[in-house]
Structure formats: structure tokens, C-alpha cells
Amino acid sequence: MATIMATSVPLSHASATPVATASGLLAMLKETDPILRSYALTNLLKVVDTLWHEVAESLPDLEEIAEDLDLDLPTRQTAAAVASRVFFHLEEPVQALRLALEGGEENFDVVNDRKSAYVECLVAAAIEAYIKKKRALADGVVGDGDEEKKKMDDDDEEKEGLDAEKLQKVVHLMFERCYADSEYGHALGVAFEARETDKVREILDQCASSHADNATLVQETLRYALDASMTLVTSKSFRSDALGIVAGHLQKMFDAPTGTAAHRSAAVLLCRCHQLLAQAKPVSDIVSSLLDGSEDDALLGLQLCFDLVDSGDQNYVNAVADKLPKKVASSSLGGVESVPTSSENGVDQNTTASSRTDEVWVRFDNALRVLTGGFTSELALSFLYKNSDSDRLIMENLKKSLEERGSGRNSVLHNNAVASHSYLNAGTTNDSFLRDHLDWMKKASNWAKFSATASMGVIHAGHTTEAMTLLEPYLPPSSDSEGGEAPAVTSAGGYAEGGSLFALGLIHGSRAGSSTATRLEASNFIRNHLRNSHANEVISHGAALGVGLTAFGSGDLEIVNELKELLYTDSAVAGEAAGMALGMVLVGSGAGNTKSSVPPGDAEELLEIMAELKNYARETQHEKIIRGIAMGIALVNYGQEENADAVIEEMRADRDPILRYGAQYALALAYCGTGSNKAIRILLHTAVSDVSDDVRMAAVISLAFVLYKTPERVPQLVKLLLESFNPHVRYASCMAVGIAMAGTGDPESVSLLEPMLTDMTDFVRQGALLGTAMIYMQQPDLCNSKKIKSFRERLSSIIGDKHQSTLTKMGAIMSTGIIDAGGRNCSIALGSRNGFTKMTSAVGLVLWLQHWHWFPMMHMLSLALTPTYAIGLNKDFKYPKNFEIQCNSKPSAFAYPKRLEEKKEEKKKRVETVTLSTTAKNKARLARKRAKEEKEGGVAAMDVEKVEDIEKSKEDDEGGDSMEVDGAEGSDNAVPAKSEEKKKKKREPEPILFRIQNPSRVTNAQSDVCAFDLDQRYRPIRPEAKPFGVIMLTDSTPGEEEDLGAVKAPSLDAEDEAEAPEPFEWTPPGHPDADASSTPAGDKSEKPNEADGSNDAEAPNETSS
């Protein structure tokens, strides 16, 4: 008792003053008296944040007290709380969390103690552990490749020893805290990471019920949920469940009174939601509802149609269009009726149709024109044609460089030059260079001829109305009558014919928004030649690729069987094309997988076909056929994510390196844009472990597809791979950086590839050139401190350098076309402006990369080239010329590159002859002699003059320009005198912002600094959207006169033809009627002409009537 009294006084005194050391309190922990221990622990808890370094030595004692069941609960909890604080300061949050959970709510108050760093840190650790446990439960069975990871996770959990119930209680308290603070986004983030569908539903229900009067907050929460499901969620099944919940809440908002801003915003989000779920019917219902509404609602409906087409999934767009009501003529009366379809938002379609006016039906016609009528493709074609900034001198110099160095005889470089020309003019319909240099084009033979003909399809991509007229000279002969048989096909030749069929496919398949009817017509035409051309592998090759492009994503079983027949002919070249075409027809369907999007009736047959293809790939001896099948399977699994895992694992485990090669691209397309850590881990493992160089190359390139939504991660990932000893890995790293950072002009990425431009391996240099060209697409001359200009000069010097290898020159030639693709109005973009992956772009890039094995695949880049423009349209699809977009940047930051200037041959200037002393003396002597003889007169003077003339002629021959130089100097002296008198104009500073006319080029980077001016007459129907692509406009003053422009596709008929003159009558001179009719009029009109001295050829026009 005395001991207690002795120690109690100083301790009570110490509590009032700061404690300098914790040694006394720590010593009391050794005491057996529970009161002393409790007192020591209580005081240690007060000072542990400042004296934790002393308390750390007694951690074992503290943990022992916390686990001693003989002690009372408050003492154990206080000991755990003190130990937890020490572990927190030792930066071991997991151990701190374990003890904090034992310390009770009094010592670890999640709700009220918000500003404490200790609480915030442990809450973060608790959420991380919670997510980890929930994900493990959601994943269920772990794959074979993840067994080791699962074992490590189990070991970690055993070491952590976290109480699951207490952990869940902490996280649920955090949810309550988020509800109280209206921070629903934080709660949703945890629920998405943990893959808890019930929690997502609970959070959204809580938000909707608590803020029923605040529609803006609810909508922002739903928007965040939608965006997070696209970016955070890596599981396709959980994403579908979460999107279903979000769609339910958005539907309630959409069903609210129409005409409000909340109603329209809900329509946009709901469309995106159903598109992610691949549900066509709800989207068509939303579009129909908007088109039936007010004028502004109808404009929003048309805007949604343009956004649907922009995603690149034509099959889905067709499904939406099929479910829209159609106007048909009534058989009994002169009126109209609607094609009966299922109910629309609970209202019978026939009832709705009867109330639709002609004006409303025009809206539906316009919507169908956008979705399936090819208007989007026509819009892009018109823009690329009118706004092309293609520099013809680039091709002239390229052709000249190849011919000067004798490279013109190299068919590979000639073939590349033709392909480069098609890139430069992709979609612009400008093929004047080829028409002016037909002799140069005729140098192409065999497969180069095939490729050269196919390049016409890239140039005229989207020009569907004139496709048959353009390619008529090259197309194979068809039957004379519809029922007749096609002429017999021989095995020889057919290069131009096969190339023309491929070109026809490129014209119709390069743009997702091309007309469905014309595409079907072209598909049937090419299929006819496909069936009749099995004897000629070249025509079969072109026909197969053409069918794949025109039937892209259709999933037509008849076409699949026709291509399968061609595949089984065991022709290497035709079989490769057939395999890839099969993939294009079934792209994204997941045919052959456990879960797929194919119709139930076709699922079994397609399952058998896919199994046959895999077996055939293992049986055939042709590597080209195996590669075609492998790439076909990769295309089929586009966007399938975990549904494709079984197929990918089977291909990855195969002994054939070509099938493993296909597995890498299957992984790239299945997880394209998802950023999946699992996919990245597999690809990186393959990139450093596979024995095949081609497989490693494909794995590295595939990283760019998986990570294209976060492109800055790709250069970081491949930075070490760029230093690999394997040249194939270095080449792939260059291509991956180029694809990911295409069109950004990123200086860091360019500097990363710069050392590769001088690599010792030629094809690595090729990859570096291609990658850098892709990064520099659509960049101005000021980009990267004007280094882009030196890169362009480097390209031209490599092409003209006879010491460079063919592969390096090939890279330089292709880069010349890529950097200025599509008349400098196109870029490589894998994503649409709404965040969807563009199917055509992803597939086009993957197929273009196959040019490594087969040069004609170079033309597949046409699918990946996306026009970058902004065009505002009114309800009649005409563009108001007065509509402008404000760009908050200097004009030079996004200007077109300066065009090349033709070098003028400079005449050699002769240097002024120096007059020698002897010559001067001789001239003086002759002058004296001449003066003397002039006085005397006679013939001698004439002789002297002749001598002087001879001397002068000699001087003119030797340095005759000396007089000109003197004269020039005099004139030069005069010009500066005048220029000095003129005041030098001050250089005006460049404006910091400017206005963009309608329509104009707007690059992806430029759209970030552009904004709508809402004070002008025409305003966008979605002012919150980026000013990019097609923008539907409302007219604030509809009664005033409009200055409109019409969208017109280029026509071949009117090309280079002047307008016809007005009708007139002309009577030739000497005709009996000349005096009576034309002469008086002629006299009146010719008098001023005679005075002006004008041409008499204009007289007939003057006498026109």
C-alpha cells in the first residue's frame, strides 16, 4: 500500500505536465497489480504518439497483455490500442489494423474521429483487406496459373489474422459515414472493387431515397457508377449485374416528365448503359421515344444515333435500326401505318403510329439514314474530300528518290510507295498522282499488282456509290445474265482481279457507318466470285478478304460455310485469307465459347465449325493457313474478356508457335481497353519466356491494345523491353508505344524511341520509324520543339540513302504515308468519344500488323484510320456556316504542317572577273592608240574598234556577267534605299484563342481545349459533350434566314469538268442572216472589246440570247 501511495503522487503530478519519457509507465507494465497496469496503459495511450519509439521496445509485452484472457476487457483493449498506435508509427498498417480491431470502438472511432491520420490509414488498410477477401470469394475457383498466388494470399491472411466480422463492421461503418456525407462515389468505388452487387444496389437506393428532390446529385452518382463500371470493373459478369442495377435507376429518371434536362441526360446515360449490355431493344425504345417528343428531344435522338454508329459495331447498330418503327404505305387507304413491333415503354406501337405526323416520320427516316443509310460515311467522305491537305510533292519526291537511287527496280519499295500513297490520300478519293504516273504504276507485277489495285480501295474508302464504276476495269468478268454462269477461271494470273475484289471490300468495310444495303449488294457480288474462283488462289484470296470486310460482324452462317469450303481446298494463300475472313464475319461473337452472343439456333453449328477449325490448324502443313485460323479465332473472341479464357489458355499451351502467336492477339482483342492486370501479367510473362520470337513480338504489341485507355502506362512498361537483346522484342516495343500514343506527339515517347532509330538491326529501325510516325500524326511543325521537322527530313534522307537496307527504307516509306494519313485529317484512334472501343479500329490494326508476314495486309490500316472533325448539323442534316467553336489555344498549336516547296534550279552566278594589271595597261594603250588614230581618221580607227569589240567579247565570255553584277549591285543598292524608307511592319503577337468554322478538322488533343459558345445562334443539343465529331444543333431564332451548306459526296461525273454555258445562238459571218440578226448585236458588243483590246473569241458569248 505504501508503494502505491509513494508512486501515485508523482504520477498524478506528471499527468498535468508533458511527459519526457515513457520509461516509468513501461516499468509499471511489469507490475502484477491490474490497477497499476490499467493506469500505465491509459497514460501510455495519451503519450504514445510522441513517445512511440520508446514504447516500441515493449511491443511483445503489450501484445501479451492484449491476449491475456484473465485480464478485464478494458485493459486488454487499451493494450491493443497502444500496440496498434506503435505499429501505425512503424508503418505497418496491417498489424496496426489487427490490433485496432481488438481495441474496440472507443479507441478506433471510424465515424467521429475523421481528421486523425491514424484512423484514415487504418480505414484504408481495412478497405483493402475487405476488397481482397470479397474478391477471393467472387472469383471462386482459381485457375491453374493462379495457384501459387492463391497460396501466397492464404499465407498472408494467416499472418494478418484479421477478424472477418470486425473488419466487415468497420467497412460498413465507412459506408454509413459516406451516406451521411453524401459521398456516394467513395462508397461505390469500394463496392465495385469488392464486386458486391448487393452493396451497389444498396448505395444507389440510399442515394435515390435520400435525395429524391435533388435530381442532379442522383444523376451524377449514376454517371459515376456508369463510368466506374467501364474503367474499374474487370469482371464482365459483375459489370453486367452492376450495369443492370444502374439501368433500372436511370429508367426511372427517364420515365419522369419529358422535356427536362434531367430527362435528356438520363436518356444519354441509359443508352450508354444498354449499349454496354449489348441490348438493342431498349435503345431503340429510347430513340423512338425521343423522336416522338419535342424538336429538342428529336435532335437528341438523332445525336444518339450518331454516337451509336461512332462505336464501330455495325451489327449492333443494325439491330437497333431493325427495332425502330417503319413507315409503310397502307394497302386500303392512302395513309400510312407502322410495321407492328413489340410494345414501346408499355405503349402499343400501333397506337403510337396512328398519332405520328409526317414531320415525325421524317425524323424516323433521318434516324434510319444515320444508322443504316450510310449518311455517317457520306459525311466523313465529304469532309475528307473537301478539306484534304494532302501534299502531292511528298509523293513526287518519294518517286524521284526511288528512281534516282535505282530503288525503283526494287518491287518491295515500289509496293510500299504505292501503299504509302494510299495512306496519304485515304478516304479523300484523290488518286490523281496514280493517274498521272500510270507508267510508274505498271511496274507492279504479280502480288505487287494485286496490292497496287487494292490500294484504290483505301483511297476511295467509303465512296460506295461509285465503287463499281471505279473498279470496273479491274473486276473479274461476271455472267452476262443473272441466271447465267460466270466465265471459267484459270489458275494463272488474276492479280488485278483479286486486288479489285479486295478493294471493293475496303471501300465498303473501312467505315462502320456505310450503307447496309450497298454493303449487302457488294457482299453478294463478291460472294458470287468467291464461289466460282476456287481454281485461282489469287482471286480467291481477294474475294475472301472482300467478303470478310463487307460481311463484317454479320455472323451469317451461309458466308461462314462458303469460307470454310475455300479453307478446305488446302491452298495456302487462299486458306490464310479464308481464316481471317471467318474471323471478320464472326468478330466479337465468341462463337465456340461456353458463353457467346450468337443466336441459340446457330450456337451448336458454330461450335462444331470452331472445333473443326482448331483441328484443321493442327493437321495442315501450311503455316499460312494455321496463321489465318489463329488470327480468325482471335477476332472471334474480340471483347469476350473472361469468356475467352478457356480458348486462349488452350492456344497458349499448344506446341505450335503460330497458334501461340494467335493466342497473344486473342488476349489483346478479348481484353482490349480493359486494362486487365491478369492479361498484362500473362503478356509480360510470355514476352520474356516464350521460345518463339514471333510469339514474344505479338505479346509485347498486345500490351498497347489492353492499355489503350491509359496509354501513358505503355512506355513505362516497355521501357526495359526496349533494351532487350532480342531484336523482335525491341521492334514490338517500338510498335506498342506508337499504337498507344498515336496522335499525341508525346515528347517522352519520342525520346524513348529515338535511340531505336539508329539500332543495329534494320527491322528495329523500321519499327522505330513507324512508331514515331504514329506518335507524330496530325502534329504541327512546332511539335516537340520542332523536332518533327527533323524527323520528316530524316525520312526523306533514309529513302534516298543507298546504304540503308530495304527493310529500313520500307519503314521510312510507310511512315511518310502514316504521318500525313487521310490528307492530314485522319488519326489512329481505338476508342470512340463516348468511351467505347471501336471494333473496326481494333480489328484493322491487328490485321495491319500482319503485314510483317504478308504485304497486302498493309491496306487494313484503312479500317483503323479515323477522320477527326467537328461538324454541326441542323435537323435537316445541313450545316450552318455561322456556327463556330472556340479553341482556347494558339492557332499554331494545331495548324496543318507547312507544305513542301518545289526546289527551283538556281542558275550558277559567275563571279566578277578580276582585272589584271597587264590587262589594264593593254586597255589604256589601245585607248591612246584609238584616240590618236581618230584624230588622223581612216580605216585604222575602225580596226581599233574591231579590236575593242573582240576584247569586249572575250571579257563577256570569261566574266561577262561582271557588267550584270555591277548593274545588279546598283539595283540592289536602290532597292534597300526604298525598303529603308518603308517602315517595318511590327509582327503582331499570335492570338491566344481562335474560332473554328463549321466544319473543320479538330484533333483529339484539340478537343480538350475547345468549348462551345452558348451565346451564338446555334447551340449544341448536348452542351456538356466534347466539341468533336457530329454535333446536332438547335436554332435559337428559327424564323431568321439561314446560311446553310449541304453535305455532298464527291462524284466521278463532275470531276474536272467546267459548268455548261448558258444556251445561245450564233450566226457565222457571211451567212444570209448575219446582217439581220447577229451583226447589230455584234457591233454593239464588239466596240468596247476593240477599245479594250480583248479577245475576239469571247464575241459569241456576247451575242448570246
Rounded to whole angstroms, how far apart are CA atoms 307 and 370?
10
Q: What is the pLDDT of residue 908?
A: 59
Rounded to whole angstroms, how far apart are CA atoms 424 and 421?
5
- 610-664 residue pLDDT tens: 999 999 999 998 999 999 999 999 999 999 888 899 999 999 999 999 999 999 9
Instruction: Tell me the mean pLDDT per 10 residues along the chain, length 1105.
Output: 36 49 79 82 84 84 82 85 87 85 79 78 86 78 44 48 78 85 87 88 89 84 88 84 90 77 85 90 92 89 91 86 77 47 45 71 91 90 91 90 72 91 93 88 87 93 89 79 55 85 92 86 92 89 94 90 91 93 91 79 85 91 93 93 91 93 95 91 94 95 94 92 93 95 92 93 94 94 87 91 90 94 92 88 94 93 93 91 91 89 66 70 83 65 45 47 40 44 64 90 90 90 89 88 83 58 76 54 40 40 37
Q: What is the pLDDT of residue 991?
A: 87
| One-letter amino acid of 737 | V
- Find, among 276, 283, 282, the residue nearest to 231 by Cα: 276
Q: Is 409 helix (H, G, I), strand (E, B) or coil?
A: helix
Q: What is the pLDDT of residue 331?
A: 42
Rounded to whole angstroms, how far apart are CA atoms 850 and 628?
10
How many C-beta atoms surround the C-beta of residue 961 within 10 A?
A: 17
| One-letter amino acid of 789 | K
Q: Angle CA(1098)–CA(1101)–CA(1103) in degrees, nearest 5?
A: 115
Rounded to whole angstroms, how far apart are CA atoms 332 and 337?
11
Asked whether 633 and 610 are in contact (CB, 8 A), the reply is yes
- Find, among 657, 606, 663, 605, the residue nearest to 637 by Cα: 663
Rounded to whole angstroms, how far apart are CA atoms 204 and 223?
11
Q: Which residues pair with 327 in a beta bridge?
A: 338
Asked whether 733 and 722 are in contact (CB, 8 A), the reply is yes
Q: Using CA atoms in the order 280, 282, 288, 294, what is the torsion angle rounded to 10 degrees?
A: -130
CA neighbours closer than 13 Å in the CB half-sphere of residue 793:
6
